[in-house]
Amino acid sequence: MNYNIALLRGDGIGPEIVDSACEVLKKTGDIYGHTFNFTPYLIGGAAIDACGEGLPKETVEGCVNSDSVLLGAVGGPKWDTLPGNKRPEKALLGIRSALGLYTNIRPAKLFPAMADACLLRKDVAEKGVDIVMIRELTGGIYFGERGRRDGKYGPEAYDTEAYSVMEIERIAHVAFKTAMIRRKKVVSIDKANVLESSRLWRETVHRIAEQYPEVECTDMLVDNAAMQLIKNPAQFDVIVTTNMFGDILSDECSQITGSIGLLPSASLGDTTCGMYEPIHGSAPDIAGMNKANPLATILSAAMMLRYSFGLETEAVAIEKAVEDVLDAGFRTGDILGASDATPLSCTEMTAKVLEYLK
Ligand code: NAD
């Protein structure tokens, strides 16, 4: 089969890690008889530099007309002083919205070989970490009304958290369906003791839960959830939460599973065209140094094969290659743990995955 993939390399380490994932996809195609055609488009700071806007029309059209999208990351200090609506990160929200990608699936699994890089106490880590976070992606405070105004104490700024019943219902269905093929547990995370939008979130999730009687559904306040993820991550199976809470808690998950350089994500809507990206940012501190861990992006490519193309065997082959590379002891700098071994570069780690891919 032939698959057309739009490549959004973006900024910072984005180009390095996207190129790594493309090599792995190419080899997977060679082994299993598929052709992956890659078309690059500009996004973020790179697009601002080239044509004055973070999300050019050609990029949106190219993504809409492709079978799937692979994204690196956007942003960096060079563009940090731009006004909010001109920043590279705005392009990210724009492309998610343009493609209708309301679901963000973020699996967080502790590979046994990563126990050393995991910051949890040994007895806590040994109970295992295998969580799928379902983050709502096109609503909430990131998309609500915002601005500046004169307030009671002088100039002030505001952002608005708003959720409709429809937005909560559709993400809740994704969470319960995900739980049905896993350990049948959903924890819905909100701040219903304070926020009205969270109270609507909670009552809507409960109503949808009635359609999935086999799934155990509980609520947790976000502050408690931040603590429970460290204290006892084994209690979680599927988490469903809002755009902002999911953004923050999934970075926390990265530290209990080893490194932010290991966690992939899939952003999906109602069609098979999804967008796949690591959960981390553009890591300007290591950009251009060939130090980035490419595994999160490689694992994101595996999610693309699974969710957009239905290529489960091929997805598992990539995930197995990554696990085998880690089991064999190969490490980039971010996952060295206490070891004083020489870390592999981004290109060396990519070569290892290619070597182990069968
Ligand atoms: P970051 O995730 O880019 O980096 C945080 C830390 O993790 C840094 O020390 C970095 O070196 C390290 N890190 C991240 N990815 C790594 C990898 N693959 N291998 C090894 N180390 C890695 O977060 P930040 O520094 O807060 O943000 C930098 C820029 O990225 C900002 O402009 C921010 O807005 C943007 N950002 C973009 C996205 C996205 O495009 N999806 C997401 C988050 C942040």
Per-residue pLDDT 10s for the chain (358 aa) are 899 999 999 999 999 999 999 999 999 999 999 999 999 999 999 999 999 999 999 999 999 999 999 999 999 999 999 998 899 999 999 999 999 999 999 999 998 888 877 888 889 998 999 999 999 999 999 999 999 999 999 999 999 999 999 999 999 999 999 999 999 999 999 999 999 999 999 999 999 999 999 999 999 999 999 999 999 999 999 999 999 999 999 989 988 888 899 999 999 999 999 999 999 999 999 999 999 999 999 999 999 999 999 999 999 999 999 999 999 999 999 998 777 778 999 999 999 999 999 9
pLDDT at 254: 85
Separation of alpha carbons 62 and 105, rounded Å? 23
Other CB atoms closer than 10 Å to residue 153's CB: what's the count?
6
Catalytic residue from among 191, 276, 291, 334:
191
- What's the CA-to-centroid distance between 280 and ligand 1, angstroms? 5
- What's the CA-to-centroid distance between 286 and ligand 1, angstroms? 9
User: How far apart are the two ends of the chain, measured CA to CA in Å?
Assistant: 19
Q: Which sign does the torsion angle of CA 93, 95, 101, 105 carry?
A: negative
Separation of alpha carbons 350 and 355, rounded Å? 9
CB 70 within 8 A of CB 276: yes
- Compute CA distances 96 → 56, 62, 99, 300, 322, whole Å: 14, 14, 5, 16, 28
CB 162 within 8 A of CB 170: no
pTM score: 0.93
| Sequence-separated (6 or more) residues with CB below 8 Å from residue 119 | 255, 256
CB 346 within 8 A of CB 292: yes
As beta bridge partners, residue 217 has 186
Pocket of ligand 1 (CB under 6 A): 13, 73-76, 89, 92, 260-261, 277, 280-286, 292-293, 296, 334
Q: Which domains, from first to last, does the chain contain?
A: 1-107+260-358 (3.40.718.10), 119-256 (3.40.718.10)
Interior angle at CA 270, CA 20 and CA 140, nearest 5: 85
Separation of alpha carbons 37 and 31, rounded Å? 16
Separation of alpha carbons 283 and 13, rounded Å? 6
- What's the CA-to-centroid distance between 22 and ligand 1, angstroms? 20
Residue with tokens 């006892």: 232
Separation of alpha carbons 327 and 272, rounded Å? 33
Catalytic residue from among 142, 163, 212, 307:
142
Separation of alpha carbons 234 and 256, rounded Å? 11
- Compute CA distances 95 → 58, 74, 143, 258, whole Å: 12, 12, 13, 29
Q: What is the bridge-based pairing of β-strands 238-241 and 185-190?
A: parallel
Amino acid at the residue 70: L
Q: For 105-242, where are the alpha helices, taking DSSP H only?
A: 122-125, 165-180, 196-209, 222-231
Q: Can you read off the two tokens belonging to residue 137?
A: 């992606």
Active site residue 116: no
Alpha carbon of residue 158 to chain centroid:
26
- Compute CA distances 212 → 179, 200, 248, whole Å: 10, 19, 28
pLDDT for 283-333, tens place per residue? 999 999 999 999 999 999 999 999 999 999 999 999 999 999 999 999 999
- What's the CA-to-centroid distance between 155 and ligand 1, angstroms? 31
